[in-house]
Amino acid sequence: MKIYVPRDAAALGVGADQTAQAIADEAQRRGIAIELIRNGSRGLLWLEPLVEVDVAGTRVAYGPVQAHDVAALFDAGLTAGHPHPLGHGATEQIPYLKRQERLTFARVGLTDPRSLSDYLVHGGYRGLAAALARQPADTVASVTASGLRVRRGAAFPAGIKWRTVLGAQSAQKYVVCNADEGDSGTFSDRMLMEGDPFVLIEGMTIAGLATGATQGYIYLRWEYPQAKLALEAAIAAAHAAHYLGQDIQGSGKAFELEVRMGAGAYICGEETSLLESLEGKRGQVRFKPPLPALQGLWGKPTVINNVITFASVPIILDRGGEFYQHFGMGRSRGTLPMQLAGNIKHGGLVEIAFGMTLREILYDYGGGSFSGRPIRAVQVGGPLGAYHPESQFDTPLDYEAFAAIKGMLGHGGIVAFDDSVDMAAQARYAMEFCAIESCGKCTPCRIGSTRGVEVIDRLIAGENAAKQETILRDLCETLTYGSLCALGGLTPYPVISALNHFPQDFVKPVRQSSASG
Amino acid sequence: MSNQSPRRVIPIKVERQSSLTAKEQSAVIEACMRLKGLPGALLPILHAVQEELRFVPKDAVPLIARELNLSVAEVHGVVSFYHYFLQERPGRRVMHLCRAEACQALGSVALEAHVKAKLGVDYHGTTRDGAITLEPVYCLGNCALGPSLMIDQQLHGRVTAERFDALVTQSLEHS
């Protein structure tokens, strides 16, 4: 009798450890022999802790299950998959999950993330086997052919970066994973690292073999201690089985991997700042060129990609670039793990091919707001993403379509706000966040963000409002065109979109009446 | 490089009036000795020091600088750049309350006001009894189940004012 209780941080945050303990105790009390497996999360986060019971090969879901529900669930016949008010039937048949196209997240929630043998049973390391059987240039060609793009900001094709590193002449090259997932509204990297750490390790190993890099680093944010535990356990297991080390699967090729912890700096999600941090310095942004692909970590050629990018590589190698290319629309190929967050009824991970509209994901998957009030604004793409009003909800989720409405998909975070939101406060927060997280290297970001907070304060106080708005727009233009990196360069997105789409929130009398009502 | 004679190092004297206890000093030295061979060792060392002492004392900075052959200014620059490194001794529990947008959408601004009033401190402050230090954090990756709070390394989701009060009581009992 297998029972699954996630060890995902989000599940732990709502009591999964207590639930697991209660299940173990209750089973023992009743003399039922169970095997308790601590899996990753299925991504149906509003149902966490989501308990699954294996009934003759079918997994039956119950959730959210708190420790105090456990005895009643056993009474109702949990171990036989019997119905209960907390029951949802077969997990795979839950519409939220059934309608998804899980490629990158195929194993997350399904397997035991600490078990290498479970990973192998579920198709793990087939991508690495394919990579070992071919020339590095062919591996790079497959990644390029797949259309896989770097899942952040400009969404640059990953294969081009790899080709540059492969072509660079150097005795030492590096592979660096950007696991500094700092965008509010995003948690797909965390879920993947906690739920299927081996796939990231495999993807980075393939990148090492394909580009001639022998040392890899995963730069992980301190806010993810569970991910650290999962990665370190998986790295140790991979090492012991020669999937990492000096002689990978008898090929004579070497790749070593180490987890390095960040220390609470949003800017370290910017790749050059991350490299500085890895070198043990302040996370200040570097000028480009030189590109990290040519002069990256310690000045050596470096592949630096996001977690989801590396994690997409094994399936591309295993199934072929064309298989992956088949998903998606336009120039956005493959799937995108979207994250539904904020004031949303059914928050969680939704991996779908590009092209679904914002409205579909908010209502068909998300089920509307958590509070039950109308959704008024949605921020897509993290704290540097634009706020979208209802009139833009029919935009398809695609890099180019969002660029066309002055927004960005970024890392796929979708944060919903109901009609109690004060958009002037959100605009002010965007500037404040930029001021707190600025690395200080360039003037528009370092000083402009603080001035931005002050201008917005005067604007919403109604001090010569028309003039303040002109100053704010001018300041935003300076930030956009004068900043060294995306932090200063994109902070105007949330500010200007709030101002353009919700101007009434910036007018003093309306603000007061909405605040009191 | 290998043909040149070893670089001459001018020894830096650690200030005599260091406020570190002998135990703290040896913890810092031990972390440096264990990790300084790593490329880019400074962040791992600072993490190790904070893990051991719960913060990075001001007087640990010259020790680390000496061990890594860096200037005190360089080490101080790194310690002060990263929000996670605490420069003052924290309370017995450190609470990181999420201030980011997804938690705001679920009422974290009101929760923040409650938390500050309940503890009687602002961000970066420690309660008068030395029990709890309050720090802001910008996303804990729990954006579908906010508002979120991390107590030491333990994440809590769906934190309401009532749940926060209960967590404070629990924390005090266990600290």
Mapped onto helix, strand or coil, the DSSP state of residue A167 is: helix
ipTM for this model = 0.95
pLDDT tens per residue, range A434-444: 999 999 999 99
Q: What span, in angstroms and rounded, lies between the C-alpha atoms of A106 and B142? A: 21
Contact B144 A260 (CB under 8 A): no
End-to-end CA separation in angstroms for chain A:
54
- Other Cβ atoms less than 10 A from the Cβ of A341: the count is 32
| Residues B83, B4 within the same domain | yes
Answer whether A224's CB lies under 8 Å from A232's CB: no
Residues A161-195: tens digit of each pLDDT: 999 999 999 999 999 999 999 999 999 999 999 99
Q: Selecting from 3.90.1150.10, 3.40.50.300, 3.40.50.11540, 3.40.190.10, what CATH number does the domain A116-325 have?
A: 3.40.50.11540
pLDDT band at A421; cut points 50, 70, 90: very high
Q: Are residues B97 and B83 in the same domain?
A: no
On chain A, the residues whose CB falls within 8 A of the CB of B158 are: 13-14
SS3 A423: helix
Collapsed DSSP state (helix, strand, coil) of residue A267:
helix
> Is-above-0.90 flag for pTM?
yes
Last residue of a domain, one of B87, B109, B127: B87
What is the reported pLDDT for B52?
A: 97
| Residue B73 shares a structural domain with residue B126 | no
For residue A255, the model assigns a pLDDT of 98
**CB half-sphere exposure, A415, CA atoms < 13 A:** 34
Say whether both B25 and B105 belong to one domain.
no
What is the 3-class SS of B55-102, one letter each residue? CCCCCHHHHHHHHHCCCHHHHHHHHHHCCCCCCCCCCCEEEEEECCHH
Question: B107 to chain A: nearest residue by CA?
Answer: A343
pLDDT of residue A148: 83
A217, A176 in Cβ contact below 8 A? yes
Question: What does DSSP assign to residue A196?
Answer: -
Domain boundary among B87, B103, B126: B87
Q: Which residue of B has its CA nearest to A12?
A: B155
pLDDT value for A120: 98
Looking at the complex, report in whole angstroms how far the Cα of residue A270 sits from the nearest Cα belonging to chain B.
15
pLDDT tops 90 at residue A379? yes
Asked whether the beta carbons of A452 and A472 are under 8 A apart, the reply is yes
Asked whether residue A153 carries a pLDDT value surpassing 60, the answer given is no
Q: How many CB atoms lie within 10 A of CB B38?
A: 14
Mean pLDDT of A27-49: 98
Give A383's contacts in chain B (Cβ within 8 Å). 100-101, 138
Selected from 3.40.50.2300, 3.10.20.600, 3.40.50.720, 3.40.50.620, the CATH number assigned to the domain covering A328-418 reads 3.10.20.600
Contact B143 A260 (CB under 8 A): no
- Check whether A222 has a pLDDT greater than 60: yes
B63 and B106 in a common domain: no
Residues of B in contact with A261 (CB under 8 A): 43-44, 47
**The pLDDT of residue A517:** 36
Q: Is the pLDDT of residue A329 over 80?
A: no
3-state DSSP call for residue B43?
Answer: helix
CA-to-CA distance for A469 and A458, rounded, in angstroms? 9
d(CA B152, CA B148): 13
Are the C-beta atoms of A317 and A288 separated by less than 8 Å?
no
| pLDDT value at residue A336 | 83
CA distance B97 to A165: 40
The helix/strand count (H/E) of chain A reads as 22, 16
One domain, residues B72 and B99: no
* B11 and B71 belong to one structural domain: yes
Q: What is the mean pLDDT of residues A4-15?
A: 98
> Do A148 and A354 meet the contact criterion of CB atoms below 8 Å apart?
no
Q: Which fold has domain A2-98?
A: Glutaredoxin (3.40.30)
Provide, for chain B, the percentages of residues in helix, strand and coil under a 3-state DSSP scheme, each rounded to the nearest 5.
Answer: 45, 10, 45
Residue A300, pLDDT > 50, answer: yes
B144 contacts on A by Cβ (under 8 Å): 10, 45-46, 187, 339-341, 344, 347-348
- Interface residue B87 vs chain A (CB under 8 A): no
User: CA-CA distance, B111 to B159, in Å (whole number)?
Assistant: 8
SS3 category, A290: coil
Maximum alpha-carbon separation in chain B: 68
Backbone φ and ψ for A328, nearest 5 degrees, come out as 105, -170
CATH for the stretch A423-516: 1.20.1440.230
Q: Do B103 and B170 lie in a common domain?
A: yes
Q: Look up residue A278 and give its two tokens.
A: 């890895």
What was the pLDDT predicted at A326? 73
Three-state SS string across A51-95, please? Answer: EEEEECCEEEEECCCCHHHHHHHHHHCHHHCCCCCCEEEEHHHCH
Q: Is B140 on the interface with A (CB under 8 A)?
A: yes
Mutate to test the interface with A, among B50, B96, B139 (most CBs of A within 10 A): B139
Q: Is the pLDDT of residue A20 over 70?
A: yes
For A44, nearest residue in chain B (alpha carbons):
B144
Tell me which chain B residues have a C-beta less than 8 angstroms from the C-beta of A45. Answer: 144-145
Amino acid at A510: V
pLDDT at residue B12, rounded to an integer: 61
Burial of B60 (0-12, 13-18, 19+ CB in 10 A): buried
Looking at the complex, report in whole angstroms how far the Cα of residue A426 sits from the nearest Cα belonging to chain B. 8
Q: Is the dihedral of CA A450, A456, A461, A464 positive or negative?
A: positive
Q: Which residues contact A506 (CB under 8 A, 6 or more apart)?
A: A423, A424, A427, A459, A460, A465, A469, A499
Domain total for chain B? Answer: 2
Tokens 């171990």 correspond to A79
Confidence band for A154, pLDDT divided at 50, 70 and 90: low
Average pLDDT over residues A80-100: 97
**Whether residue B106 is found in the same domain as residue B70:** no
Q: Does B139 contact A182 at a Cβ distance shorter than 8 Å? A: yes
State which H helix or E strand residue B137 sits in.
strand B132-137
Give A426's contacts in chain B (Cβ within 8 Å): 101, 104
Residue A157, pLDDT score: 83
More confidently predicted of A354 and B35: B35
Is there a cis peptide before residue B57, judged by omega within 30 degrees of 0? no
Do B2 and B79 share a domain, yes or no?
yes
Using CA atoms, how far residue A503 sits from A36, A183, A450, A451, A507, in Å, is 54, 25, 21, 20, 7
Looking at the complex, report in whole angstroms how far the Cα of residue B100 sits from the nearest Cα belonging to chain A: 6
Q: Which domain holds residue B15?
A: 1-87
CATH number, domain with residue B128 = 3.40.30.10
Q: Is B115 on the interface with A (CB under 8 A)?
A: no
Structure confidence at residue A102 (pLDDT): 93
Instruction: Please report the pLDDT score of residue B11 as a whole number.
Output: 67
Cβ distance A280 to B43 less than 8 Å, yes or no, reads yes
Element (H, E) at A352: strand A348-353
Which has the minimum average pLDDT: A128-137, A347-356, A386-395?
A: A347-356
User: What is the arithmetic mean of pLDDT over A229-258?
Assistant: 98
Task: Give the residue from B68, B87, B106 where a domain finishes.
Answer: B87
Long-range contacts of A133-138 (CB under 8 A, 24+ apart): A136/A166, A136/A209, A136/A210, A136/A211, A136/A212, A137/A166
Cβ contact, residue pair B101, A418, below 8 Å: no
Q: What CATH number does the domain containing B48 carry?
A: 1.10.10
B111 and B62: one domain? Answer: no
Q: Is the pLDDT of residue A69 over 90?
A: yes
175 residues of chain B, pLDDT tens digit each: 455 677 777 666 655 678 899 999 999 999 999 999 999 999 999 999 999 999 999 999 999 999 999 999 999 999 999 999 999 999 999 999 999 999 999 999 999 999 999 999 999 999 999 999 999 999 999 999 999 999 999 999 999 999 999 999 998 887 6
Task: Give the residue on A whose Cα is nearest the Cα of B68.
Answer: A280
**Closest to A285 measured CA to CA, from A452, A489, A428, A149:** A489
Name the closest residue on chain B to residue A349, using Cα atoms: B144
Q: What is the pLDDT of residues A388-410, one digit of tens each?
A: 999 999 999 988 899 999 999 98
Q: Can you spell out the DSSP letters for A297-317?
A: GGGS-EEEEEHHHHHHHHHHH
Which residues of chain B make contact with A429, given a CB cutoff of 8 A?
Answer: 101, 104
Do B123 and B77 lie in one domain? The reply is no
Give the N- to C-terminal CA distance of chain B in Å, as an integer.
Answer: 53
> Residues of B with CB below 8 A from A436's CB?
138
Give residue B173's pLDDT: 85
Domain residue limits, chain A: 2-98, 116-325, 328-418, 423-516
Are A219 and A178 contacting, i.e. CB atoms less than 8 angstroms apart? yes
Q: Which B-chain residues 57-76 have CB contacts (< 8 A) with chain A?
A: 74
Instruction: For chain B, positions 13-52, list CB contacts with chain A under 8 A.
Output: 39-44, 46-47
Q: What is the structure's pLDDT at A420?
A: 97
- Separation CA A378–CA A362 (nearest Å): 9
Given an 8 Å threshold on Cβ–Cβ distance, is B150 in contact with A223? yes
Residue A511 has pLDDT above 60, yes or no: no
The per-type count for chain B, helices as H runs and strands as E runs, is 7, 4
